[in-house]
Amino acid sequence: MTDTTYDHSARSDSLLDVSELTVFHGQLCAVDQVSFHVNAGEVLAIIGANGAGKSTLLRTIAGLHKPSSGRISYKGEEISKLAAHRRVRKGISLVPEGRRLFASLSLEENLQVGAQNAAPGPFNIGYVYDLFDWMHERRNQKVRQFSGGEQQAVAIARALVANPQVLLLDEVSLGLAPIVIERIYEFIPNIVTQGIGVVLVEQDVTQGLQVATRVHCLLEGRTSLVGTPQELSPSAIERAYFGSDVTHGPAAQEGHV
Ligand SMILES: Nc1ncnc2c1ncn2[C@@H]1O[C@H](COP(=O)(O)OP(=O)(O)OP(=O)(O)O)[C@@H](O)[C@H]1O
Ligand SMILES: [Mg+2]
């Protein structure tokens, strides 16, 4: 499927099903009739330029913004009106843009906060110490002493100890060096094989395409393209990302299409 059509038939097998979701900030329609689903074991990349509505979409799924219309279903249950902390308990975790860690607390204290509303499941603090092998020996250090990449890993670890089945990642690569980004993304194959569905937001399209099973592009709040990384051409992605009247954006010249 390389256009923007969406099959609205029942998807009882999908973990997360978003249907015609519309979200306003005041007068501004930030997300406009967006639909997608995520199955267990899948990584859906939401791509789009600044202000396209990516964070609003993830935050609405997490329960931090109220949609004006549309449905969010999780394992077949409508959750659109559920409070954010109850969504966490059911297994939906967000790694927010900008990390939002407790800088004056230690690494382990941050993880303990993440575990407070945990759903039942395999991930605990010991598990994430295995997943990110440097963490255990630095568990008592304050998070403010960590590098940007390390803090991003702590933010991901904090979301994982809540035992998500749907993990929402908002720009985890932002501001990090390529080698650090590579290391940050290494954990994804490990967790999706355990039946987790991942929705990741990326402005860096190359990065998004590398890890995604499917790609969903937003342009000014609307779906402009959906498909698999294999079937979407760079020029189609570029048009969907920047809008049809822009053919050679600066990011394209840097290989970011
Ligand atoms: N809390 C808010 N109040 C008012 N307007 C907002 C709020 N949050 C976002 N917006 C606006 O909604 C639109 C979508 O913003 P959003 O942050 O969802 O985009 P984004 O795709 O995540 O952008 P970026 O890539 O810069 O993070 C933008 O025009 C933004 O200015
Ligand atoms: Mg954002």
3-state secondary structure the chain: CCCCCCCCCCCCCCCEEEEEEEEEECCEEEEEEEEEEECCCCEEEEECCCCCCHHHHHHHHHCCCCCCEEEEEECCEECCCCCHHHHHHHCEEEECCCCCCCCCCEHHHHHHHHHCCCCCCCCCHHHHHHHCCCCHHHCCCEHHHCCHHHHHHHHHHHHHCCCCCEEEEECCCCCCCHHHHHHHHCHHHHHHCCCCEEEEEECCHHHHHHHCCEEEEEECCEEEEEECCCCCCHHHHHHHHHCCCCCCCHHHHCCCC
The pTM is what? 0.89
- Taking the C-alpha atoms of residue 59 and residue 38, their distance in angstroms, rounded to an integer, is 16
Q: Which amino acid is at 8?
A: H
Task: Tell me the per-residue pLDDT of 22-40, one tens digit each, with 9 for 90 and over.
Answer: 999 999 999 999 999 999 9
Atom 9 of ligand 1: nearest residue by CA position = 56
Whether 62 lines ligand 1, by a CB cut-off of 6 Å, is no
pLDDT of residue 5: 52
Q: Is residue 30 part of a domain?
A: yes
Q: Is residue 92 part of a domain?
A: yes
pLDDT of residue 1: 45
pLDDT of residue 177: 82
Rounded to the nearest angstrom, the distance between the alpha carbon of 223 and the centre of ligand 2 is: 16
Q: Is residue 171 part of a domain?
A: yes
Which atom of ligand 1 is found nearest the CA of 203?
25
Q: Is residue 53 part of a domain?
A: yes
Q: Is residue 114 part of a domain?
A: no
Length of the chain measured in residues: 257
Whether 60 lines ligand 1, by a CB cut-off of 6 Å, is no
Q: Are 67 and 82 in contact (CB under 8 A)?
A: no
Q: Which residues of 146-157 are buried (b: 16+ CB within 10 A; e: fewer)?
A: beebbbbbbbbb
Q: Is residue 127 part of a domain?
A: no
Atom 2 of ligand 1: nearest residue by CA position = 25
Q: Is residue 91 part of a domain?
A: yes
Pocket test for ligand 1, best of 32, 56, 68, 199 (most atoms within 8 A of CB): 56
- Which domain covers residue 84, as residue numbers? 16-99+164-253
Rounded to the nearest angstrom, the distance between the alpha carbon of 141 and the centre of ligand 1 is: 33
Task: Tell me the per-residue pLDDT of 125-150, one tens digit each, with 9 for 90 and over.
Answer: 998 898 888 999 999 999 999 988 88
Which atom of ligand 1 is found nearest the CA of 52?
21
Q: Which stretches in the chain have pLDDT values below 50?
A: 1-2, 6-10, 246-257
Q: Is residue 190 part of a domain?
A: yes
pLDDT of residue 224: 95
Rounded to the nearest angstrom, the distance between the alpha carbon of 22 and the centre of ligand 1 is: 14
CATH number for the domain spanning 50: value is: 3.40.50.300
Total of domains in the chain: 1
Q: Which amino acid is at 16?
A: L
Rounded to the nearest angstrom, the distance between the alpha carbon of 35 and the centre of ligand 1 is: 18
Rounded to the nearest angstrom, the distance between the alpha carbon of 96 and the centre of ligand 2 is: 9
